[in-house]
Amino acid sequence: MEITEVKVFPVNEERLKAYVTITFDHCFIVRDLKVINGNTGLFVAMPSKKRKDGTFRDIAHPLNSECRDKMETVILDAYRELQKTQPAGRRAPAEAEAEYEEMER
């Protein structure tokens, strides 16, 4: 299974840097991945849902470290490339969020 498309939707928050949608083999989409600026640098958080007890549980996630590493590499490369081509302050966060919400419909 190959990642055939990565869409990055930047946001301007302290730790959350972008939402990401990825497509596998042109036929399966996973939305709501997040690029997070953590204590040791950027990482990718899987889509999750808040449970009644206040904890979060992943909705979708890779089953092994090889798959996770590949996904994280592709997603962070796409995010960094977008940062190069779109300097800070060039695109209003509200515009990116509106585009992301439109895709969700």
pLDDT at 9: 94
Total tally of structural domains belonging to the chain: 1
Residue 105 lies in a domain: no
Amino acid making up residue 46 = M
pLDDT at 98: 55
Distance CA 21, CA 3 (A): 11
Distance CA 75, CA 68 (A): 10
* Residue-number span of the structural domain to which 30 is assigned: 3-48+57-86
pLDDT tens digits, one per residue of 5-43 = 999 999 988 999 999 999 999 999 999 999 999 999 999
What is the phi/psi pair of residue 80, to 5°? -65, -40
Question: What are the structure tokens assigned to 51, written together?
Answer: 């449970």
Residue 104 lies in a domain: no
Residue 12 lies in a domain: yes
| CATH number reported for the structural domain that contains residue 26 in this entry | 3.30.1120.40
Distance CA 51, CA 53 (A): 5
Distance CA 34, CA 77 (A): 14
